[in-house]
Amino acid sequence: MNITRNQAICMLFCEEYSDDNATRLAKKIEQLGAFDVCYENDPRRPVLLTQAIINSQPSIFKRYETSSKETYNDKTT
């Protein structure tokens, strides 16, 4: 399951995902300062932590991708 950062932000605030909601809620996080959304084991359970904690424990806390990854077939011949 691939959950983007914007989707996780909406999930964190218990709001329906939309570009408008994601933008508005991301601004709330920015206003807090050195915080960001991440997850520990399950990307469906976002948490808000300081960036220092996220950076100091990358094996525990994972960041969300900013956009969904597209899968493609590598056609090397």
Does residue 70 surpass a pLDDT of 50?
no
- For residue 52, being part of any structural domain is answered with yes
Q: What is the pTM of this model?
A: 0.81
Q: pLDDT tens digit string along 27-52? A: 999 999 999 999 999 999 999 999 99
Domain assignment present for residue 71? The answer is no
* Residue 76 placed within a domain: no
- Looking at the structure of the chain, the number of domains it has is 1
Mean predicted confidence (pLDDT) in 40-69 = 92
Determine, yes or no, domain membership for 70: no
For the record, the structure tokens of 59 come out as 């094996």
Output the average pLDDT for the chain: 88
pLDDT at res. 57:
96
What is the edge-to-edge ordering of all strands in the sheet holding 62-63? 47-50, 35-39, 62-63
3-state secondary structure the chain: CCCEHHHHHHHHCCCCCCHHHHHHHHHHHHHHCCEEEEECCCCCCCEEEEHHHHHHCCCCCEECECCCCCCCCCCCC
Is 73 contained in some domain?
no
Domain assignment present for 72: no
- Residue 77 covered by a domain: no
Range of the domain at 58: 5-63
Q: Which residue has the higher pLDDT, 71 or 26?
A: 26
